[in-house]
Amino acid sequence: GDSVTQMEGPVTLSEEAFLTINCTYTATGYPSLFWYVQYPGEGLQLLLKATKADDKGSNKGFEATYRKETTSFHLEKGSVQVSDSAVYFCALRRIQGAQKLVFGQGTRLTINP
């Protein structure tokens, strides 16, 4: 079945450091890919998405590129802030058939000042 694998956390960085959270997927066909973020005590918020190969999603300084050849959708940010501390989830959703979101296990990110 469909699955998403994220790098294990927790990840701890200093403010202004470069961030990469790896995400790879297994799916039939070409799903849409998403990154969600969950701040403490809150629900999941859509961070960015990409719907086809080579698409780049971006939002709030975060970027991720849909790489079909490596089945990856790594999340990057050039300079992280303390306010970026949260849990990040990579997810996929098939275009047809079962349209549920399939999530990775989540990566907890802590940014120290």
Partner 1 sequence: DSGVTQTPKHLITATGQRVTLRCSPRSGDLSVYWYQQSLDQGLQFLIQYYNGEERAKGNILERFSAQQFPDLHSELNLSSLELGDSALYFCASSVGQGGNSPLHFGNGTRLTVT
Which of 106, 107, 109, 111: binder of partner 1 (CB under 8 A)?
106
Q: Which is nearer to partner 1, 107 or 111 (CB)?
A: 107
- Asked if 42 is part of the footprint of partner 1 (rule: CB under 8 A), the reply reads yes
H, E, C per residue of the chain: CCEEEECCCCEEEECCCCEEECEEEECCCCCEEEEEEECCCCCEEEEEEECCCCCEEEECCEEEECECCCCECCEEECCCCHHHCEEEEEEEECCCCCCCCEECCCEEEEEEC
Here the tokens at position 26 are 């297994």
Minimum distance of partner 1 from residue 28's CB (angstroms): 12
Could you tell me how many residues of this chain bind partner 1 (CB under 8 A)? 26
- Asked if 67 is part of the footprint of partner 1 (rule: CB under 8 A), the reply reads no
Bridge partners (DSSP) of residue 70 are: none
- Asked if 26 is part of the footprint of partner 1 (rule: CB under 8 A), the reply reads no
Which of 10, 40, 43, 113: binder of partner 1 (CB under 8 A)?
43
Q: Which residues of this chain interact with partner 1, rule CB under 8 A?
A: 31-32, 34, 36, 41-46, 49, 51, 89, 93-96, 98-106
